[in-house]
Structure 1
């Protein structure tokens, strides 16, 4: 039976910072690693993205990772292609990516993707983004890529799988049906893009949160310590009761929805 008790809404706290805002990234302190513990069923959304990219690239490719973060995902292409360039607006991310890069075939630079990107015409053979910006840099995709190449984006479309019914107040109802592809098309402004051959694939990534605390850690990722202290005080006891009533042997099952978007640059 679904527990209907309304929990404390941390998003109404005066110090709540919208995720992916400049202040939110600043509070991460240059570390974008998920801090909660969980298990995933495979393939994960990132695995699906990797497989998609891997099916197209070869040793002569130059590829661009938009919103590369620390570069861990980007590193996997270092031995498979001619050159990999990762860009991100967060300087701390780029510093970490360059310090740890495994090969000189990789380079990482700080770039504001909302401005003109510093690459020559017809340079890249593939462009992708793992949860990074879509509309901004892809407005230049036709210039910086060769003709008719693939553009790929993986974007989070919300988490549910019963999570929002179990913890009302702490988690709100899904604002948008992740299978509403017309909405997704409008959100990413496909009609304004100069790209062609758009396709949207919905990925349901199954995750098992390991402990009651992980429910809160996931919700409060990127928030400050003062807000977290309030959340733990107001919510943890109720979360523990709900968690242990509904968790499996693997943990509490939730579903992360992702949209895998592909398109192509113009042929000429």
Structure 2
């Protein structure tokens, strides 16, 4: 999809990858609704974009995991700019270390997975009628590999990848494009949450990501997303080594799991 003249929505757009996506989409010629649970952060990003590209960004504080919130998001974008062409389901939560509680699982499932399903439920019928549309799913390398630390994060990111695959398989021949973003370390607040948790598994989760490869800027990741959307590519891997890891996992699953056990043990043993 060429972004010039298109209308985009970015959830979790108040900073990090979401803020960078909003800026890059506008730089490519799109108009964007920046939405975040933190309305002030969304307003700040939209104001920064407006200062450079007047008339190209609006903000809305809303819950992108909530059915009513998604309806408000899409409605605000339509009121400001017209029908939504691209929806970047970027809002996410890290999940509690370990198995987590029922409430923590509910939150992770709602934000990391059901938010994508609910947005698609609103937009896919409209895109099918128009013959075009684009869905960007922010998942994680954890959705292809796994995640030391949080069961809820690992599982919901796997599910996000699976849902993006299903969307592309089911609607890709009907004009709906899908890209699934699966980075490792990106310098965001979410990356550092584990090391501030005071929990050994949480601290190991951050060290696992930061030691596995370069920690990228959100802007670099957003550039990769724009290239993928423009080319109509499904899998977006800002860290190319993830593909090699994924192949190794599939080639010998038992060996890979044994290796991950050793890796996790080493991270826990190295805890300061």
- Which interval holds the TM-score relative to the shorter structure? 0.3 to 0.5
Of the two, which has the highest radius of gyration? 1
Q: TM-score, normalised by structure 2?
A: 0.44
Q: Return the structure number with greater helix share.
A: 2
- The structure with higher relative contact order (CA 8 Å, sep 6+) is 1
The answer to which structure has the higher strand fraction is 1
